[in-house]
Amino acid sequence: MCFLRRPGAPASWIWWRMLRQVLRRGLQSFCHRLGSCVSRHPVFFLTVPAVLTVTFGLGALNRFQPEGDLERLVAPSHSLAKIERSLASSLFPLDQSKSQLYSDLHTPGRYGRVILLSPPGDNILLQAEGILQTHRAVLEMKDGRNSFIGHQLGGVVEVPNSKDQRVKSARAIQITYYLQTYGSATQDLIGEKWENEFCKLMRKLQEEHRDLQLYSLASFSLWRDFHKTSILARSQVLVSLVLILTTATLSSSMKDCLRGKPFLGLLGVLTVCISVITAAGIFFITDGKYNSTLLGIPFFAMGHGTKGVFELLSGWRRTKENLPFKDRVADAYSDVMVTYTMTSSLYFITFGMGASPFTNIEAVKVFCQNMCVSILLNYFYIFSFFGSCLVFAGQLEQNRYHSIFCCKIPSAEYLDRKPVWFQTVMSDGHQQTSHHETNPYQHHFIQHFLREHYNEWITNIYVKPFVVILYLIYASFSFMGCLQISDGANIINLLASDSPSVSYAMVQQKYFSNYSPVIGFYVYEPLEYWNSSVQEDLRRLCSGFTAVSWVEQYYQFLKVSNISANNKSDFISVLQSSFLKKPEFQHFRNDIIFSKAGDENNIIASRLYLVARTSRDKQKEVVEVLEKLRPLSLSKSIRFIVFNPSFVFMDHYSLSVTVPVLIAGFGVLLVLILTFFLVIHPLGNFWLILSVTSIELGVLGLMTLWNIDMDCISILCLIYTLNFAIDHCAPLLYTFVLATEHTRTQCIKSSLQEHGTAILQNVTSFLIGLVPLLFVPSNLTFTLFKCLLLTGGCTLLHCFVILPVFLTFFPPSKKHHKKKKRAKRKEREEIECIEIQENPDHVTTV
């Protein structure tokens, strides 16, 4: 191997180029040896993956267990809200409260809720009989539990010009039945049974009361409807597999019965399937628990695995047909597996970072861990199991066996004597191949379309301005969408769309969105409540809220009773001896914690309840209230915490879900930059970074415009988009920068002809496999479908439209290749002239 120094090139440039060439040749040599090993021992490499699949697949069936804790999955693992909940629970344990308000729970616990909705134009207050019948039926349930009740009115219309905000009518009423389980496992099981009976009762009452609409919800409803997605999607996932199998089989077929490989396309998809089954078995054997977000793993793995399958098929078509089949397999590995190894490594790095401790969402972490195992097994199964299938198919082709019927192909003379249908079925392409065509595989219909039609059209000078305009429109919409990103802390985005939980949430959002959830305001340090400055601080903190406060009630009581309590002893004495003994104020006893030191009583902690006025975007405003109150707890003299069970899901959710994408993106960028001078060509990495960034921002912006929030599913899809873009753009770009044709246009034509078939086959199979997800009635699968559709669409747009045009404008330049070819041509002409002069009689024969 000889390296010539270009005039003016620095010595460091030569060393970098040498290092790149050595690394590239070393990787190609390794992959060539790997292909040779597989071709020499195909039975071994076929048997080992099959045994692994059977072993771990059976283990998956025996160890399957669904995840039962929804909060653990989708709520941020490390959040301040969980610490605040622990503090609130330690100060005011639930099992010490006997006559609680509905608003003083620290956890949702076990409960049953029902919204009674009157017909349009009716007043729910005039249907008291139906409401009371429902209420009595709940209280008289079998295995009934002690409960305390809260109720709210929705769709309220107030009396005009009423000073005390009197209610004229209401459209809906919400009744909540909280159960006292005290944290006991036995009590919890009884509570779960009660909730099941409660939901059955609501369905029965709905049939009896046609004049009322009943929407019920229980504490287990969210988990049930979250897990329901997997049950609903079973048949659609199988349909997706059939569609992908069909597409891969048809796209791998040719009219040439010798060189067509329909069964290899089929076996390639099955290879990915058994690798996913093996990964699932390992996951369950290691005590993993299934959740509905893992539904995306087969689609993610299929998008990467089939890319390797189709690239190996394209690599096989590029090998010399006159070589032995074992050498052809080794050459295909040397040509394809270097790039596939790099892209698989990036998959592993990005999802490995998503599985790191930096990820704060457990569902994302579990998904990324499983995806890492799937990628490793996917890579192993592609070069072993599918490689063995490629060896057997190559042997059949070399021995001239039919690619479908596996029978010996008759000679051309024999075929000429047979009917047309028989010639069509048994033709090996000898009639179509002329003496000018050295590669019979060019008759593949996708390759023929790209070579004869598409390549000329996309590189036409009159098409390029329209492509530039198209990209500007694409970039504008992407940028506009990126400015409107919203977090998806709403759990409804992960539930089955036709479930009772979603119906309940929609009605609640429509009629009960005027007020926030009741927020607990916990003062956890002794405070001088009798001090006027402290009283003023409390009023200032509670301003803007509707407060349920023992402090305000006590101050009002002192004022009405004309009692002076300006010092500690009087304040606490009147509070204990008079205020808390009155029936209307006895429920405040659970809101104050007293301590006794000798003969002196102290108030060491207390709690208030705040309700904020909100608009239709209730969740966003609650997050703003939380972010507003927390800093005040540190800056004010009053030490307090605020808590509501919903805060556990909302607390820094947007930051928690975006961190995995940022880490994965940073990891990809870091790897590409660190290998900038070690890869085939530095400009290849530069263009790859630009392409991946454009695709990622495009998917992010367009999915926002498509009303997709930043929840755990969309975040996982964004991580996948990084890798999917690299998977398809990298081979195209690296082939372009290494091409030695005269012009950039010829180089991009060569790149599309070499890799366009595999890219189009894979993206088409991927997108067709997504179609059945549209028919799964689940918000989770809708999000998955939209994000993956945008991923495939944007990648296809860049590979076949944007890059082929933009690469003809910008570096790398191909002038030095042109100069080299001119020099070689001139040298060849001089040699021919010398030969002619020495032997003039040979001219006529030439």
Those residues whose C-beta lies under 8 Å from the C-beta of residue 86, and which sit 6 or more positions away, are: none
What pLDDT band is residue 102 in, cutting at 50, 70 and 90?
A: very low
- The predicted-structure confidence for 569-614, as pLDDT tens digits, reads as follows 888 888 888 888 888 888 788 888 888 877 778 888 888 888 877 7
pLDDT at 479 over 60: yes
pTM: 0.85
Q: What is the pLDDT of residue 254?
A: 81
Q: What is the pLDDT of residues 33-57, one digit of tens each?
A: 999 999 999 999 999 999 999 988 8
At the second CATH level, the architecture of 102-224 is: 2-Layer Sandwich (3.30)
Question: Residues 277-289: what's their mean pLDDT?
Answer: 89
pLDDT-derived band at 841, boundaries 50, 70, 90: very low
- Report the pLDDT averaged over residues 71-95: 79
699-755 pLDDT, tens digit each: 999 998 998 888 888 889 998 998 999 999 988 888 888 877 778 888 888 889 889
Amino acid at 686: F
* Rounded Cα–Cα distance for residues 528 and 835 (Å): 112
> Which one is predicted more confidently, 129 or 298?
298
Q: Which range (93-107, 425-439, 478-492, 744-758) has the least confidence?
A: 93-107
Residue with tokens 């009798």: 530
Rounded to whole angstroms, how far apart are CA atoms 166 and 708? Answer: 40
* Across 131-154, average pLDDT: 69
pLDDT for position 741 = 75
Amino acid at site 129: E
Average pLDDT over residues 515-543: 84
Cis peptide before 812 (omega within 30 of 0): yes
The answer on pLDDT for 694 being more than 80 is: yes
Does 772 have pLDDT greater than 70? Answer: yes
Res 142: pLDDT: 59
More confident residue, 11 or 78: 78
Query: 661: closest CA among 703, 727, 729, 713?
Result: 713
State the pLDDT at residue 333: 92
More confident residue, 4 or 674: 674
| pLDDT band per the 50, 70, 90 thresholds, residue 681 | low
Higher pLDDT, 389 or 438: 389
- Domains of the chain, by residue range, sit at 102-224, 443-483+679-838, 518-643
Going by C-alpha positions, the residue among 779, 792, 716, 789 that lies closest to residue 233 is 779
* pLDDT attached to residue 816: 52
pLDDT of residue 492: 82
d(CA 815, CA 813): 6
Domain at 443-483+679-838: CATH architecture: Up-down Bundle (1.20)
Is residue 4 very low, low, confident or very high in pLDDT (cuts 50, 70, 90)?
very low
Average pLDDT, the chain: 81
Rama region for 781: left / alpha / beta (φ>0; ψ in -120 to 50; rest): alpha
Of the pLDDT bands very low, low, confident and very high (cuts 50, 70, 90), residue 379 is: very high
